[in-house]
Amino acid sequence: MAVTRQPGSYQESDFQTGLCDVCDDCGTCFYGLFCHLCLGCSIASDMNECCMCGHGMPIRSVYRTRYNISGSLCKDFLTTFFCGACATCQLKRDIDRRKEQGIF
């Protein structure tokens, strides 16, 4: 008999805040706006990655995959290319919320 379904459940989700929900966490927003690279290093540290990997499409894709967040590599590229600071802030807000919920 062929296995057509893996054991366990897979449930796709979304980021817990929107891309432009800057008022949800003004501190993170200002941090990302005035020191985008530092915020990226903070994200990389949270995810046990190299500091230079903390912003952009690759880290966003890894995070989405890890937490079953819907999207695609193309969407990750476009989001980080056109809205880099907002995408980085959104990722940090999501990490912080998952830490609060005990699921990070």
Q: What is the pLDDT of residue 82?
A: 95
Distance CA 50, CA 13 (A): 26
**Beta strand ranges found along the chain (DSSP E):** none
pTM of the predicted model as reported, rounded to 2 decimal places: 0.85
Distance CA 54, CA 50 (A): 7
Cα torsion for 69, 73, 78, 80, to the nearest 10°? Answer: 70
Residues 62-85 have pLDDT tens digits of 999 999 999 999 999 999 999 999
Q: What is the pLDDT of residue 3?
A: 52
Residues 12-59 have pLDDT tens digits of 789 999 999 988 889 998 998 899 899 999 999 999 998 888 888 999
* pLDDT above 60: residue 5: no
